[in-house]
Structure formats: structure tokens, C-alpha cells
């Protein structure tokens, strides 16, 4: 274990690793599998799923299941792991591609014609919305891609984005479970959304959807997004709503959250305590513009350093959730890099304050880094390197800033996803 006073950066990385360990599908899946010996399924057992952790979850099912299995899961490019009987398909994220569309079509076909003796195990994790991309009748993949890109740049939060996605889909918002009826559907979920609402995680393909076509139209309008004509017509027609709570087709669904952001923050907090650092969990569902959240977090860190509140130094401020970035520049970003660049500017080199912010899937936005880290000398080193932090922030180029300083955090795909992890370490000033 790192000595916090001598190696703060190493300690921050240990906290991140502890958070990842708490969300490891290899450990999270087995306790939540349906009972096999006491009440084995009479018919087929079909495994389907989508998300950045879907392949790892599928392998965990294979390892711990005692009967025959078949099925298909779709995960992000680079996130596959070998499975024996469950097929793994890779597709694009965050903007869907043809591989994801074709996989979603096959999955929907697999669950049709099942009987009440059959069991469907659905494995869902963050990223599933883009990976399980089957357009509603009358729409094309290109239409979904156009809307997806606009939403990603708009500053819409994940719940708003997924409301729109559900109403442009033939498979999301409970439609997959409805197609599987009357089979029993057990969904295991690794949560990556604030609040852990199963209806929002991967756009809830197997759970009832409380949102409406009217909600989707209102979201696009609120962000000034003018969708392609067929999309506009589809949303206006509202011909077939998503299955709602109480829909008889969803009578035999079971939903189990097997990993969530709060548990990962608690694991990081426990590790901090063993290092003699007082942890403060500020929240697992913090949202808002990344740079605005950074300014608030900087104020809390200063309060801890100056007044010992909400904890005296040495302490670490832990938080999760998903910030947003309204993209106006041309830089390479990622919400965690944007958060940290804004945090460094707001802290102005505050002594004894270090921070790390990473996406727990190992990919910050669409870049190759998980996130980045800052230290009290970050702005001084930037100045020496000829970097203008404010100019780069205005250009949404957090990636470029931290790449130039060598302060990116690179993990590669972690094969799980419980949203963002942020840790601000406040040590006693010299």
C-alpha cells in the first residue's frame, strides 16, 4: 500500500483499483444466478446481453452454470473475452454501428417463440444502449446514429439520452422482455447510471418503461435538436408505446442489481481508512456540467484544507455519477479529463491537494484513457510546457492537456462499468 504523504498518486490509483474490484463481474455474477439444483429450468437456458461488461458476465455465467447454455452477447470493441458456448460479438460505442444492429436483431430473434419452461438470463451493463441498436420500423441505423451524435454533443444526461433511444428502438424500453414472453427472464445488471434505475441502464430492454414518446420529443426540443424527418415523424406518430408497468407480457421478469457505483465508492473508502485517510463519500449520483461540478468540488476541497470540514486532512473526497460536457470546441476530451482540467484551474495549485477522475470502464468518452490525475504542481508544469489551461478547457481539450503532461491514466478496458470515479485527496499543508 502506498504511503499517502510520500506517494499520493499511487494511493489515488489504489483507491480506483479498489472501486474496480468491487464491480468485477467474476465476483458479482455468481451469487445472483437463478437456482439450478433446487429448481432447474425445464426447457432451454438462453443467455443474452449487451454492455461493456457483457462478455465478462457471460464467462462468469458459463463458469458457474451446471446445465446446457446457448446465447449471444454484444460488447464494445476491445472488451470481448473468450466464452465456450455463448457467442460474443463486438460493436461500436458510443455511436452504434452495423455490427451492433445485426447483433441486436439476432438477439431479438432468439427470444421469440420461447415457452414458459424456458429461462432467459439477460446480462446488462453500461454501454448497452449503443451496442443494442435495433431501429424501430421505418427508421434506419443512420437515423439512430445522427440522433445519438447530436445527443452526445448536447449536454443531455444519460437518462434523457436513453429516453430518446428507447422510443427509436425495436428492442429497448422493455420490448426485449415482451418478445421473450412467456419465458421467465432474469436480468443481471451492472449499474452505470445515477440512481441505479434499471429502466435507464442500457435503456432498460427487459424492464417496464415509464417514459413516453412525448417525453422523447420534449427532450430533443429542449436541447434544440432537429432530428431527421423520419425520426420526427416516428416520434410524432407514437404508434406503439414501450411496455409500461403492469404489462402482462412482463409478468415473469426478475431484475437484480449485482454491482453499483455506491458499492465501489464504499470499497474505495474502506481502502482509504486502512491508509489512515478519512473518506467522505459525497454522492454516487452526481450530475451536471463537468466544469461546474469541478468548481463545486474545488470549494469542498478548500473547506476541508482550511476548516477541517466535512473532514480534516488527511482526507479523501469520493464521488461517482456521470457529468456531462456540452461540446463547443474541437479538442479531444472525455468528461473526466474535462472535470480535472477545470478542477486544476479552480484549485490554483492548492498545496496538498491531489485528484484522480476516471471512467470505471477504462475509456473516458471515446478516447484511449480511463481519465487523468492532477497535483499541486499541475498548472506550474503546464506553464513550463507552454500550455494554456483555460484555452484548452474552452476547446474541450482535456485529453490534449493531460497527454502533454504525461498525466493520463491508462488502464485499457476494465471489463466492468459502474460510471465515473472521482477522488480528491487533501493532505496537511507543509
Q: Could you tell me if 253 and 279 lie in one domain?
A: no
Q: What is the pLDDT of residue 365?
A: 82
Per the domain annotation, does 143 fall within a domain? Answer: yes
C-alpha–C-alpha distance, residues 398 and 430, integer Å: 29
- Residue 185 within a domain: yes
Does residue 214 fall inside a structural domain? Answer: yes
Co-location of 401 and 273 in the same domain: yes
Q: Supply the pLDDT for residue 1.
A: 63
Domain co-membership, 295 together with 225 = no
Whole-Å CA distances, 183 to 117, 186, 249, 262: 6, 10, 10, 32
Mean pLDDT of the chain: 95
Q: Of all residues in the chain, what percent carry a pLDDT higher than 70? A: 98
Q: pLDDT-based confidence at 421, cuts 50/70/90?
A: very high
In a domain, 1, yes or no: no
Strand order in the sheet with 70-76: 86-91, 70-76, 45-50, 119-124, 184-190, 253-259
User: How far apart (Å, rounded) are the C-alpha atoms in residues 229 and 63?
Assistant: 47
pLDDT one-digit tens code per residue, 4-26: 568 999 999 999 999 999 999 99
For residue 332, what are the domain limits? 8-21+262-426
State pLDDT tens for residues 404-414. Answer: 999 999 999 99
pLDDT, tens only, 34-66: 987 667 788 999 999 999 999 999 999 999 998
Q: Is the pLDDT of residue 2 over 80?
A: no
pLDDT the model gives residue 230: 97
Domain total in the chain: 2
Domain containing 392 — which CATH number? 3.40.1480.10
Same domain, 409 and 292: yes
- Is residue 243 located within the same domain as residue 364? no
Q: What is the pLDDT of residue 264?
A: 98
* Range with the poorest average pLDDT among 134-138, 151-155, 264-268: 151-155
Q: What is the pLDDT of residue 214?
A: 97
Phi (first) and psi of residue 286, to 5 degrees? -80, 130
Average pLDDT for 317-336: 93
At 207 the pLDDT is 97
Claim to verify: residue 28 and residue 110 sit in the same structural domain? yes
Residue 2, in any domain of the structure: no
Indicate the Cα dihedral angle 163, 413, 375, 157, nearest 10°: 0
| CATH code: domain of residue 238 | 3.40.50.10180
Q: How many CA atoms lie within 13 A of 336 on its CB side?
A: 33
Of 226, 259, 292, the residue at which a domain comes to its end is: 259
Q: Is 78 helix (H, G, I), strand (E, B) or coil?
A: coil
Q: Closest Cα partner for 198 from 260, 242, 262, 130?
A: 260
Residue 351 and residue 245 in one domain: no
How far apart are alpha carbons 26 and 12 in whole angstroms?
24
Residue 86 lies in a domain: yes
Same domain, 401 and 280: yes
Residue 3 lies in a domain: no
Q: What is the mean pLDDT of residues 95-102?
A: 96
Q: Are residues 105 and 94 in the same domain?
A: yes
User: 209, 228, 259: which is the final residue of a domain?
Assistant: 259
What's the pLDDT score for residue 277?
98
The answer to whether position 165 is within a domain reads yes
pLDDT at 204 over 80: yes
Instruction: Give the domain-ending residue among 225, 259, 293.
Output: 259
Same domain (yes/no): 355, 401: yes
Q: In what order do the strands lie in the sheet with 408-409?
A: 278-286, 315-321, 420-426, 353-359, 371-374, 408-409
Please check whether residues 189 and 62 belong to one and the same domain: yes
Do residues 205 and 86 share a domain? Answer: yes
The arithmetic mean of pLDDT across residues 344-352, rounded, is 97
Amino acid at each position: 500500500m502506498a504511503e499517502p504523504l510520500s506517494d499520493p498518486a499511487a494511493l489515488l490509483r489504489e483507491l480506483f483499483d479498489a472501486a474496480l474490484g468491487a464491480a468485477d463481474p467474476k465476483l458479482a455474477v455468481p451469487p445472483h444466478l437463478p437456482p439450478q439444483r433446487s429448481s432447474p429450468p425445464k426447457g432451454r437456458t438462453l443467455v443474452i446481453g449487451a454492455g461493456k461488461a457483457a462478455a465478462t458476465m457471460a464467462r462468469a455465467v458459463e463458469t458457474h452454470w451446471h446445465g446446457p447454455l446457448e446465447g449471444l452477447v454484444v460488447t464494445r470493441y476491445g472488451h470481448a473475452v473468450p466464452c465456450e458456448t455463448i457467442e460474443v460479438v463486438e460493436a461500436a460505442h458510443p455511436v452504434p454501428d452495423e455490427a451492433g444492429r445485426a447483433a441486436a436483431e439476432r438477439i431479438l430473434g432468439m427470444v421469440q417463440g420461447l415457452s414458459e419452461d424456458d429461462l432467459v438470463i439477460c446480462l446488462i451493463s453500461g454501454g448497452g444502449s449503443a451496442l443494442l441498436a435495433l431501429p424501430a420500423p421505418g427508421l434506419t441505423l443512420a437515423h439512430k446514429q445522427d440522433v445519438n451524435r447530436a445527443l452526445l454533443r448536447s449536454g443531455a444526461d444519460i437518462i434523457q439520452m436513453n429516453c430518446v433511444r428507447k422510443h427509436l428502438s425495436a428492442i429497448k424500453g422493455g420490448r426485449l422482455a415482451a418478445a421473450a414472453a412467456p419465458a421467465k427472464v432474469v436480468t443481471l445488471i451492472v449499474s452505470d447510471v445515477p440512481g441505479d434505475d434499471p429502466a435507464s441502464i442500457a435503456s432498460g430492454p427487459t424492464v417496464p418503461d415509464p417514459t413516453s414518446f412525448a417525453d422523447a420529443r420534449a427532450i430533443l426540443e429542449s436541447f434544440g435538436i432537429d432530428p431527421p424527418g423520419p425520426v420526427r415523424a416516428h416520434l410524432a406518430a407514437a404508434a406503439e408505446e414501450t411496455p409500461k408497468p403492469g404489462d402482462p407480457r412482463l409478468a415473469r421478469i426478475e431484475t437484480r442489481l449485482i454491482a453499483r457505483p455506491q458499492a465501489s465508492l464504499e470499497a474505495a473508502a474502506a481502502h482509504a481508512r486502512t491508509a489512515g485517510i478519512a473518506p467522505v463519500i459525497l454522492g454516487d449520483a452526481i450530475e451536471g456540467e463537468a466544469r461546474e461540478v469541478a468548481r463545486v468540488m474545488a470549494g469542498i476541497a478548500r473547506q476541508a484544507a482550511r476548516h477541517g470540514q466535512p473532514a480534516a486532512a488527511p482526507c479523501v473526497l469520493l464521488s461517482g455519477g456521470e457529468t456531462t460536457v456540452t461540446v463547443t470546441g474541437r479538442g479531444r476530451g472525455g468528461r473526466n479529463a474535462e472535470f480535472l482540467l477545470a478542477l486544476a484551474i479552480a484549485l490554483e495549485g492548492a498545496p496538498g491537494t491531489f485528484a484522480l477522475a476516471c471512467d470505471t470502464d477504462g475509456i473516458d468518452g471515446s478516447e484511449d484513457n480511463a481519465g487523468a490525475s492532477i497535483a499541486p504542481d499541475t498548472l506550474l508544469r503546464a506553464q513550463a510546457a507552454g500550455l494554456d489551461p483555460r484555452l484548452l478547457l474552452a476547446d474541450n481539450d482535456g485529453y490534449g492537456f493531460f497527454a502533454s503532461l504525461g498525466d493520463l491514466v491508462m488502464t485499457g478496458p476494465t471489463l466492468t462499468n459502474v460510471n465515473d470515479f472521482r477522488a480528491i485527496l487533501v493532505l496537511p499543508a507543509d
